[in-house]
A and B are shown apart, each in its own frame.
Chain A
Amino acid sequence: GAGVSQSPRYKVAKRGQDVALRCDPISGHVSLFWYQQALGQGPEFLTYFQNEAQLDKSGLPSDRFFAERPEGSVSTLKIQRTQQEDSAVYLCASSLEGNPSGELFFGEGSRLTVL
C-alpha cells in the first residue's frame, strides 16, 4: 500500500513486559514522528526523525521509551518494562519534507493495552 503502515495493530502486554512497535512510512518521506494518544486526548508528541537522525526526543516520557530509524525508513518504538500508564494508541506519521510545514500522513496506530 501507499500509506503509512503500523504493526501490530493491537498489542496486549503484561506489566513489566517489553514491547516493540513498528512503523513503515510512505516511501521517500524524510520526516517521521511518533505520537501517543490516550483516550479522549489529542496526540502527544514523543519523538521526531529526519531520515535516520533523531532530532528531537523531548516527548519520550521516560528512559523506558526508545525509538530508532537506522536506515532512514522503517522506525521502531520500543517500550521496556511496560506500565499500565503506557496503555494508549501509538501513532506514527510521516511527511515528505524535513522540517515539515505541510501535511502529516498517519498510520492507523498501534493500540497497546498493559494489564
Chain B
Amino acid sequence: RKEVEQDPGPFNVPEGATVAFNCTYSNSASQSFFWYRQDCRKEPKLLMSVYSSGNEDGRFTAQLNRASQYISLLIRDSKLSDSATYLCVVNRVSSGGSYIPTFGRGTSLIVHP
C-alpha cells in the first residue's frame, strides 16, 4: 500500500463548478501536510499548506482530519486555469528522524467551458 493515496481522476468539470479532492496517508506519525499543483510537463509548485484547523486561500479550502488520516482540497468556482494535477504531500518521519516530503500520484483536474 502506498504511503499517500489519491484518486488519479481525471475529474472533468464545467467552469464555475465546485470540486473536491481527497487524500489518505498511512503513517499516523506524519508531520506537515500540503497540496502542490503541477501543470503538464512542469515542476510541482506549492498551492497551500494544510493546517489542523482547516484553512482557506481564496477559492481553495484545505482540511486535515488526523484521526482518519485524511486530507481534502475544495475548489470553488472552478476556472479554466485550474486545470492541472493536484499532488497531496505528507511529511513522513524517516527512521533517522528526517522529515521526508512524500507525494501522492496526483489527481488530474480538467475544467471545460
State the A residues within 8 Å of B (CB): 33, 35, 40-45, 48, 50, 55-56, 58, 91, 93, 99-104, 106-109
Contacts and interface: CB of A to CB of B under 8 A. Distances in A.
Interface residues of chain B: helix, strand, loop or mixed (majority): strand
Interface residues of chain A: helix, strand, loop or mixed (majority): loop
Given A41-B106, A107-B43, 5 more contacts: A40-B105, A42-B104, A56-B98, A58-B94, A91-B44
B100 interface: yes
Contacts of B99: 99-101
Contacts of A48: 94, 98, 100
16 contacts: A41-B105, A42-B6, A42-B103, A42-B106, A48-B100, A56-B96, A56-B100, A58-B94, A99-B97, A99-B98, A100-B99, A101-B31, A102-B49, A104-B36, A106-B43, A106-B45
A109 B100 contact: no
Given A44-B103, A101-B31, A101-B91, A91 B98 contact: no
Nearest to A104: B101
B19 to A, nearest CB: 19
Interface string B45-56: 110010000000
Contact of A43 (B31, B44, B46, B49): B44
A64 B102 CA distance: 23
Given A42-B105, A42-B106, A43-B103, A101 B32 contact: yes
Interface in B42-100: 42-46, 49, 87, 91, 94-100
